[in-house]
Each structure stands twice: as C-alpha cells, then as structure tokens.
Amino acid sequence: MSSPMWRKSSHSGTGDQSVCVEVADLPTGIGIRDSKNPHIGHLTITPDAFVTLLTRAKRDELNL
C-alpha cells in the first residue's frame, strides 16, 4: 500500500499565518488533517459527506 498524496489548497496562507487542512483520497474515503500537525492523525469521511462539507463551507454555513 502506498502513502496517500496529501494536498492543500493553493489559497492557503504561508508561514505562521497558514491555517489550513490537507486532504487525500484514501481507500476508505476522504482523509482530512491539520496541515500544521499532520502527525496527530486525520479524520476520514465519505465522498458524499466531503461534497456536503465543501458546499456548506462555500455558503458560509459552518460558523468557522
């Protein structure tokens, strides 16, 4: 099994102001992890849940 290819948005900040998550396609779903602390683990959600998450984030419905 190969390592997942984690990626983050090109819109992410850089340096100390970088607040971002990374995502990867995993065999069990979509992995989401903190880009500043990738060693602490990740969440895995279904592709449908990921689409819903992105849609709600774009609509500013998540109170982030």
pLDDT, tens only, 11-37? 666 665 567 889 999 999 999 999 889
Strand partners, 21: 34
Cβ density class 23-54: b for 16+ within 10 Å, e for less: bbeeeebbbbbebeeeeeebebbeeeebeeee
Q: 7 phi and psi, to 5 degrees?
A: -145, 155
How much is the average pLDDT of 41-55? 96
Identify which has the larger pLDDT, 46 or 63: 46
What is the bridge-based pairing of β-strands 29-34 and 21-26?
A: antiparallel
* Domain presence at residue 3: no
Nearest-angstrom CA–CA distance, 30 and 49: 9
* Domain presence at residue 1: no
Could you give the number of structural domains in the chain?
A: 1
- The per-residue pLDDT for 46 is 98
pLDDT band at 44 (very low <50, low <70, confident <90, very high): very high
* Domain presence at residue 10: no
- The per-residue pLDDT for 2 is 79
- The per-residue pLDDT for 9 is 73
Residue 24 is part of which domain span?
Answer: 19-58
* Domain presence at residue 40: yes
